[in-house]
Structure 1
């Protein structure tokens, strides 16, 4: 470890270069990717409106333009901050309000554009770098080598770039995990550093301050994402094991700080519990289960995406080549850190990787699969893995064997190249795997935008509500919307040359065909939704023919 205290100038330059590239990628093309289904819901909460309020004004069997959606997609003077909080409390309490409150103030200052809201996440992501430096300093007690390599890896990590450009709370959650973890480690170090009572009395103000920081950051983390409760559980397990399950002064202080953090979260947890029981009472037992992905392919894919991600599908041959390589790197890193560091170091990393992931993995094993939208819940695991890999790479750069040092320099170069390529591809893409059911919206929008005088018809059932909002960002201003509630038969007005049905049920589509005596053709279909096109209206076609004939020369 003492060799890691001396960082060569080339490594300093590399860290600075990769940090600069990471910042550049985070702020480039913020509006290029599709504004997804989940992001539109986040904007709805920020606006202070509830789903039923938006449905009453939009899904009312009237023709509207894309501009009608703007009122429900950002801060507006008609709704207050209290409306934002109450919208979450009533309809979406599994998302605590901290991010949405910050985002509302942000959008009031910088506007409601996609660039504006995503720039908040990009700015928050910059806090990751000093926080990971603090965490690594507490873990390894070296000035720059391991913390610097960790910063370099995280700056070009494609998984972090995804959340740094997402209008949701996940990158803020990562920052709170780093802060609470680093403050916990520093508090424990200060508690155990000096046995002398006189020194302890001198340290008491510092200890109080750092334990207070832990309590505050724990509360902030809970108000950012509910899964923070499992990160707190990981902290508690770590404290108890390192104390050998004895009620030491460190354990007592930790329990007090944790209690303060959880007490601060009581107002929101009561809301969550109340909504949970209300859901159990009113839940529709006939609701179909969402599609599940096999757990092990999902986990392997997510592990490789920490270092290399060009939006490969799970059945792509390149995926089968790349994933085992990074799996070996991750396994070697965990093994190496367990073999070469004090148990307090490797134990913290192992617990951070495993404990928050278990509540996600174990039910998935029972259910036979995992929801593809569950990947943000693995953010603590991503963090622990990256720290372990950073430690392995940093230490091997100082290996006494020249040949082994050269090999690890090549490995580190390949990891860096993979990260840079991934970040470059991601920053220029118009869609990405994290967009879920909105992944193919650009393709659908292109089909509709190529037509003349298009009308898009949809209802609010299932995922249609969020996807129609998502499409509104991609469709040209000439596209009109006819949105209905409860699958009523729409009253299609004249004047539209191309009419599309967005994800209609078979029964609803057949009723529309029967009423207007038209056939429908599928123009797009995947596992999430389908789009159908109606034949042109006979009266419209007849009017077009009449107008054309009137313009023809009499000789013809």
Structure 2
């Protein structure tokens, strides 16, 4: 009788959830759409520009590059020591932290309520899958950009926090894992793991904070190197336009903080402004658009690469 009444209670709860969920969902969805209407209108009115501005994210990369970026992005929540993108040490060092993340998600799925499980799993995997599917089927590197995965990260932090709270406290936790450890008790083991996690996080933050650039700085990874090359000149003039992907304005603003006071900037809106350029300064051009390149070639200006794909030195003596 108890089992029958329990099943009846559960079925009534499920029916109530089914009845109330659609209404709540559609009300929430409608509220979100209303809030985002101004941004939706901006995108519709500037659809081609929005498409051009995100062209760089549709550049095809190999599957191995995507996998490496996924490993770097998710493990960087707790450790972010970089020994080189193609160095095996970079990924071996991060493997234990990926295992901790996976075990945290598993612990949530095993011990938490159904609603909590769904919240964590959908928060992590739905945004990730939305980015991964177009990358795999239509090429691109959207899922390789760490900032696009930001919505996945809070649920990962919650999962790992729950993992430690469960194994560091409470006497109702299964001791099966602790029984297998010959050197440490269960709680001592997880204290050591937590100490390693915190140490790795603090060390990673300390190193990246004083670095000129980092692996996740897309597409401005080379800005520090570009600034050093320009600052080494006595009378530099930096030319740039909006660029083919419309990202140059933001990058030039970022770059300006690294440039010396004697560096002059000429940001071109119209190509006719090239007439203002004289040979008195050492001229550099930063990620020029195809139109700007064609205009400089038409003037028979000679371009020499300084930082591959980013910066050129211009000789207008011809």
**Fold-level match, TM-score > 0.5?**
yes
CA contact (8 A) 2:57 2:142 kept: no
Residue 437 of structure 1: SS of its match in structure 2?
coil
Residue 417 of structure 1 and its aligned partner are, at CA, apart by: 0.8
Residue 308 of structure 1 and its aligned partner are, at CA, apart by: 0.8
Residue 480 of structure 1 and its aligned partner are, at CA, apart by: 1.4
The residue that corresponds to 2:186 in the other structure is 404
CA contact (8 A) 1:373 1:436 kept: no
CA contact (8 A) 2:242 2:269 kept: yes
CA contact (8 A) 1:292 1:371 kept: no
CA contact (8 A) 2:279 2:316 kept: no
CA contact (8 A) 2:78 2:201 kept: yes
Distance 2:121 2:50 in 1: 40
The residue that corresponds to 1:530 in the other structure is 310
The residue that corresponds to 1:499 in the other structure is 283
Label 1:259 to 1:290 Cα distance change in 2 as closer, same or farther (>3 A).
Answer: closer
- RMSD value over aligned CA atoms? 3.6
Q: How does 1:478-517 map to 2 (within 5 A)?
A: 478-485=262-269, 487-488=271-272, 490-491=274-275, 494=278, 496-504=280-288, 505=290, 507-512=294-299, 514=300
Q: How does 1:372-521 map to 2 (within 5 A)?
A: 374-398=145-169, 401=178, 403-462=185-244, 463-485=247-269, 487-488=271-272, 490-491=274-275, 494=278, 496-504=280-288, 505=290, 507-512=294-299, 514=300, 519-521=302-304
- 1:14-40 per-position Cα deviation (integer Å, ceiling 9, x unaligned): xxxxxxxxxxxxxxxxxxxxxxxxxxx
Residue 490 of structure 1: SS of its match in structure 2?
helix
Give unpaired runs (5+ residues) of structure 1. 1-194, 196-241, 539-556
The residue that corresponds to 2:101 in the other structure is 330
Residue 267 of structure 1 and its aligned partner are, at CA, apart by: 3.8
The residue that corresponds to 2:14 in the other structure is 244
The residue that corresponds to 2:181 in the other structure is none
Higher RCO, Cα 8 Å, sep 6+: 1
Distance 2:51 2:185 in 1: 63
CA contact (8 A) 1:498 1:534 kept: yes
Label 1:508 to 1:328 Cα distance change in 2 as closer, same or farther (>3 A).
Answer: same
Label 1:457 to 1:378 Cα distance change in 2 as closer, same or farther (>3 A).
Answer: closer
Distance 2:59 2:283 in 1: 29
CA contact (8 A) 1:354 1:381 kept: yes
Residue 500 of structure 1 and its aligned partner are, at CA, apart by: 1.7
TM-score, normalised with respect to structure 2: 0.75
CA contact (8 A) 1:301 1:314 kept: no
Residue 447 of structure 1: SS of its match in structure 2?
helix
The residue that corresponds to 1:23 in the other structure is none
CA contact (8 A) 1:456 1:500 kept: yes
Label 1:443 to 1:329 Cα distance change in 2 as closer, same or farther (>3 A).
Answer: same
CA contact (8 A) 2:231 2:260 kept: yes
**2:129 is equivalent to residue 361 of structure 1:** no
Label 1:482 to 1:349 Cα distance change in 2 as closer, same or farther (>3 A).
Answer: closer
Give unpaired runs (5+ residues) of structure 2. 1-8, 179-183
CA contact (8 A) 2:70 2:143 kept: no
The residue that corresponds to 2:59 in the other structure is 291
CA contact (8 A) 1:330 1:389 kept: yes
Query: Of the candidates 35, 51, 74, which is equivalent to residue 265 of structure 1?
Result: 35
TM-score, normalised with respect to structure 1: 0.45
Label 1:365 to 1:245 Cα distance change in 2 as closer, same or farther (>3 A).
Answer: farther
Q: How does 1:145-294 map to 2 (within 5 A)?
A: 244=14, 246=16, 250-251=20-21, 254-255=24-25, 258=28, 261-262=31-32, 264-265=34-35, 267-268=37-38, 271=41, 274-275=44-45, 279=47, 290-293=58-61, 294=63
Distance 1:472 1:422 in 2: 27
Residue 274 of structure 2: SS of its match in structure 1?
coil
Label 1:429 to 1:322 Cα distance change in 2 as closer, same or farther (>3 A).
Answer: same
Residue 535 of structure 1 and its aligned partner are, at CA, apart by: 4.6
Label 1:342 to 1:270 Cα distance change in 2 as closer, same or farther (>3 A).
Answer: closer
CA contact (8 A) 1:243 1:251 kept: no
Give the 4+ runs in structure 1 shifted more than 6 A.
280-284
Residue 403 of structure 1 and its aligned partner are, at CA, apart by: 2.0
The residue that corresponds to 2:3 in the other structure is none
- 1:490-513 per-position Cα deviation (integer Å, ceiling 9, x unaligned): 23555734222323455444334x
The residue that corresponds to 1:339 in the other structure is 110
Query: Of the candidates 320, 343, 356, which is equivalent to residue 91 of structure 2?
Result: 320
User: For this pair of structures, how many residues does the alignment match?
Assistant: 288
Residue 291 of structure 1 and its aligned partner are, at CA, apart by: 2.3
Distance 1:511 1:264 in 2: 50
